[in-house]
Every structure is written in structure tokens, then in C-alpha cells.
Amino acid sequence: MKINKATTKALLTQRKTQNFIFLILALFFFSTVQAERLSLSEITLPPDAGNIYAHKIASDANSSDFVIFIKKQVPLHKHLIHTETIFVLEGRGIFQQGEEKIEIGPGDYLRIPENTPHAVTVLSDKPLKVLSVQAPEFLGKDRVFIKEPSLESPAIKATAIETDE
């Protein structure tokens, strides 16, 4: 039997398609899931922690995830290039975003656009515990604390927050 060029090309294309389908199926059935599972209730505040304690959960170029404990307050500040998403796990507080103030508690979700002044004051006896996701990756360089405006001159300064690293 003589096979012409067109038949050969068709057989090769069919074989490549079969190999590709086999590869996709193999990846689907034999690959492991790369998801991480973590119980946030197991992350606790160290006894010697200061007013603000941040426990880094994960970080990559796209985002950084923290469990943050606040004993008293987080002063008014903003993030120059980050959006921050907060989910309240424990405690209660007064959250300020811009000029608006709202009471927050367990189950509340907050999304803070970049360059938006925000602060929180704790109302509960126990610390406020939140899940904070910042995007893109947070390297600690874009947090700018803002002093409340005064008659003299409004000042802006960068301040470090204690972390577990």
C-alpha cells in the first residue's frame, strides 16, 4: 500500500492530537492540587506582642496574606500602591475609611482601595483579629501613616508595624 503525502500529514496530525489529549488527561488525573489549608483560629496573639501584631500567612508577587491583631488602634494611614481587603475574625471596632466611620465585627468584609486613608479603633475587651489580603505583594514600603491635620503643618511619616518575621 502506497501512502501519499496528504495521508501521511493527516496521520501525523491525528497522532499529535491523540498525544496532546493523553497529556491533558494525565495532568488532570495524576496532578496534585497545590491549595493550602490553614485554620486561622490556630493563629494566636503572642503574649509579648505590642499594640499591632501581623502574622504573615503567605506572599507572592500577586498578594500578601496576614492575620493581624490590634489591641487598641491602627492610626490613620494609607497604602500608596496596594488594595487591602479585610475580613474581621474576632473583636469589634470602629473602622474609618476617608471621612466615614462604621462599627465592625466578626464576619464583616472591607475593601480599601489604594491611596485611601483608613484607621481602626478597638471597642472590644479582646483584640481585633482580622484577615488582611494586600494586592500586589506587600513588602512594607508603601504604608504611610498620616497625622491628623493640625493648624501647624500636616505631617506624613512612615512607621513600622511589628511582624513575626
- Model confidence pLDDT, tens digit, residues 66-86: 999 999 999 999 999 999 999
CA nearest 88: which of 110, 72, 66, 71? 110
Closest CA to 66 of 46, 32, 40: 40
Q: What is the pLDDT of residues 143-160, one digit of tens each?
A: 898 986 544 433 333 334
In three-state secondary structure terms, 165 is coil
CATH number for region 40-157 = 2.60.120.10
Q: What is the pLDDT of residues 125-143, one digit of tens each?
A: 999 999 999 999 998 888 8
Grid cell listed for 96: 474609618
pTM score:
0.70
The residue extents of the domains of the chain are 1-31, 40-157
